[in-house]
Amino acid sequence: MAEKLNERLMWEGKATLEKLHKLVQARTNFELQLAPDYHFVLSRHLMPDAPPAEAEEIDLSGTGELFNTVAEIRGLQELAELAGPLSAAGAQVHIQSPAPGILVTFPTSP
């Protein structure tokens, strides 16, 4: 992604949410890194029909609504709180794995 990354956080559950809410309110681009253990469950959840070889890599983009889908995974439920604010802010979400990361960028003013 060409957008400048301003913050990088490691997901530590609810403790990370307050920081993420502040970044969203400030429209600060960020990457949320997930523990490597989330790779398999993310790939199966986001790409349930993909053959196992294709599920090795995740490269998926969308809007803040992707946070609702990710939040369906046990241990990531709190992320659902961010879907609405991210969508309202026009954020773009990009999920990459096998080193699970969620990149969030905000539109720049002209």
Closest CA to 45 of 15, 75, 88: 75
Residue type, 95: I
Does residue 13 register a pLDDT over 70?
yes
Does residue 2 register a pLDDT over 50?
no
Does residue 54 register a pLDDT over 80?
no
Q: What is the pLDDT of residues 86-100, one digit of tens each?
A: 999 999 999 998 888
Q: Please report the pLDDT score of residue 75 as a whole number.
A: 93
Does residue 23 register a pLDDT over 70?
yes
pTM of structure: 0.87
* Residue pair 64/84 in contact by the 8 Å Cβ criterion: yes
Q: What is the pLDDT of residues 71-80, one digit of tens each?
A: 999 999 999 9
